[in-house]
Amino acid sequence: MYEGDDTYNLVGAITELGNYELWLKTAEELRKNPFARIVMAASFASPLLELLQNRVIMVHLWHSSRSGKTAALKFALSIWGDPMRLMGNFNSTAVGLERRAGTLKHLPLGLDELQVLNEKRLSPSLIVYSLGNGYGKTRGSKSGGLQDVPTWRNCIISTGEQPLSNESSMDGVESRVLELYGPPITDIETGRRIHQISECNYGYAGKRYIDFIVNTILTSKDKIRQDYENIREKLQTGFEGDPGVHLDNIAVLALADCYSSVSLFGMAEEDAVAEAVSLGNTVLQNAKSLEKEDVVERAWHFLEDWIASNKTRFESTISPCYGKIETNKVYIIAAVLKQAMEEGGYSYSKSIRGFRDRGYIQVFANAEGEENTQCQKKIQGINVRAVCIKLNVQPDADDFLTDPIVPLTGPK
């Protein structure tokens, strides 16, 4: 008997209902679309993570409205049981999401409709970091002491009309989330039919899939690890260029697709591996096309745009004044720069360190020979702490006049 927290009655949703042959025929139809198929593969991959000692995998599929995202997610959850009870959404709290993930443990957590997220209460980044860690927050209990901390190791599958990360997201968000852009179901009538079938026919595939894993895969020592390494190697060698940070996770999804092809759809193992690798390559290409620059580069481009849009604030007679433009240099008052970066959603300290390491800002040495990213600069007749940006901005004639630079002493 399950003895954990089942606030949402999720355990009761793991059951069988309806016609398995109808479900199987529908699944074969859906597998013709790579986006629907990878959502199903993520659902099948969830119980493999513990066996492979892989970290939590987060897959986010986004596209425009009426592209079948919810229907595809619902069908993927119907592998295990009643999708209407298994599916959650982003209109939740951090505690609610942790409890749902902890209850499901190794079964997939489905979250629908990112656009309903109340970002004043819960940000996408917080969701990614808290769920991606695989364990909940330590909290006190009403009777004293601490509550049990929920843990999970599963696939988290989400959908929405927008990406989960944005231009100011930290690099850790993008490395934790496999974001895919595409329509899983292109025909509206097909989408309606998938909704109806998944709500009335569910639970059979998961049992058969687990039986196959236990009685076929796990009976051979290290087979699951060998199969994973084989698929990963095929993906890596077959992809032109750097496959990116998601190669390991995509290899797990491809492995799950392979196992489901053999156990449920009667495919020969060799053919199943070939189709799984083909699917993995498609996912790699899609993920690579959406890959964003790292956060330091995005912060730099934000700063370039900010300087351009506030150029008049660098004139000597303007108030408030943000700094001073000289040949191939822009001196920005440190406090002003910090406020602008943070209002833009970027970490000031991380951005400055990144700018320094990449040579985007000038570094100064004090009397002790220590490097500093700030200097003293006379702006409107006052010596202020400033950051010197290496940027060629066409200045006005008066701005060619330069003032002496005095290296700072004290903390960097």
pLDDT in tens, 293-317: 677 888 899 999 999 999 999 988 8
Sheet bearing 155-160, strands edge to edge:
87-89, 109-112, 155-160, 57-62, 177-181
pLDDT value at position 316?
A: 81
161 and 309 in a common domain: no
Domain-terminating residue out of 237, 254, 289: 289
pLDDT value at position 241?
A: 78
- Chain mean pLDDT for the chain: 88
pLDDT value at position 265?
A: 97
Q: Determine, yes or no, domain membership for 118.
A: yes
Mean pLDDT is lowest, of 41-45, 56-60, 296-300, 355-359, for 296-300
18 and 127 in a common domain: yes
User: Average pLDDT in the 44-60 region?
Assistant: 96
Report helix, strand or coil for 378.
strand
From 84, 87, 68, select the one nearest 29 (Cα to Cα).
68
User: Average pLDDT in the 379-406 region?
Assistant: 73
Percent of the chain clearing pLDDT 90 (strictly above)? 60
What pTM value is reported for the model? Answer: 0.74
Mean pLDDT is lowest, of 145-154, 225-234, 254-263, for 145-154
The CATH number of whichever domain residue 173 belongs to comes to 3.40.50
218 and 106 in a common domain: yes
195 and 322 in a common domain: no
331 and 263 in a common domain: no
Q: Determine, yes or no, domain membership for 3.
A: no
330 and 269 in a common domain: no
386 and 273 in a common domain: no
Q: Determine, yes or no, domain membership for 147.
A: yes
Give the CA-trace dihedral at 268, 107, 288, 74, to 10 degrees: 90
324 and 285 in a common domain: no
Residue 116 pLDDT grade (very low, low, confident, very high; cuts 50, 70, 90): confident
CA distances from 356 to 207, 216, 331, 372, 390 (A): 55, 55, 15, 10, 10
Q: Which of 81-90, 195-204, 369-378, 379-388 has the highest mean pLDDT?
A: 195-204
From 327, 293, 324, select the one nearest 307 (Cα to Cα).
324
Q: Determine, yes or no, domain membership for 4.
A: no
CA-CA distance, 386 to 260, in Å (whole number)?
60
When computed from its CA atoms, the radius of gyration of the chain, rounded to whole angstroms, is 26
Two structure tokens written together for 17: 């209902």
Q: Determine, yes or no, domain membership for 330.
A: yes
Residue 102 pLDDT grade (very low, low, confident, very high; cuts 50, 70, 90): very high
Mean pLDDT is lowest, of 7-21, 161-175, 194-208, 217-231, for 161-175
- Inform me whether the pLDDT recorded for 398 exceeds 50: no
User: Average pLDDT in the 330-351 region?
Assistant: 90
- Inform me whether the pLDDT recorded for 69 exceeds 70: yes
CA-CA distance, 112 to 87, in Å (whole number)?
7
pLDDT value at position 204?
A: 97
Q: Determine, yes or no, domain membership for 1.
A: no
Burial label, 393 (beta-carbon count in 10 A; 0-12, 13-18, 19+): middle
Tell me the sheet residues that pair with 365: 371
CA-CA distance, 215 to 27, in Å (whole number)?
23
CA-CA distance, 176 to 165, in Å (whole number)?
10
Residue 19 pLDDT grade (very low, low, confident, very high; cuts 50, 70, 90): very high
218 and 356 in a common domain: no
pLDDT: which is higher, 191 or 89: 191
Q: Determine, yes or no, domain membership for 2.
A: no
Domain-terminating residue out of 289, 307, 336: 289
Residue 251 pLDDT grade (very low, low, confident, very high; cuts 50, 70, 90): very high
Domain-terminating residue out of 289, 311, 329: 289
Q: Determine, yes or no, domain membership for 412.
A: no
212 and 77 in a common domain: yes
- Inform me whether the pLDDT recorded for 411 exceeds 70: no
pLDDT value at position 62?
A: 92
Tell me the sheet residues that pair with 333: 386
- Which residue range is the domain that position 269 belongs to? 11-289
3-state helix, strand, coil in the chain (%, to 5): 50, 15, 35
pLDDT value at position 90?
A: 87
pLDDT value at position 219?
A: 95
From 105, 101, 98, select the one nearest 147 (Cα to Cα).
98
The number of domains in the chain is 2
pLDDT: which is higher, 76 or 174: 76
pLDDT: which is higher, 78 or 238: 78
300 and 204 in a common domain: no
Residue 400 pLDDT grade (very low, low, confident, very high; cuts 50, 70, 90): very low
223 and 327 in a common domain: no
Percent of the chain clearing pLDDT 70 (strictly above)? 89
CA-CA distance, 262 to 52, in Å (whole number)?
19
* The amino acid at 253: L
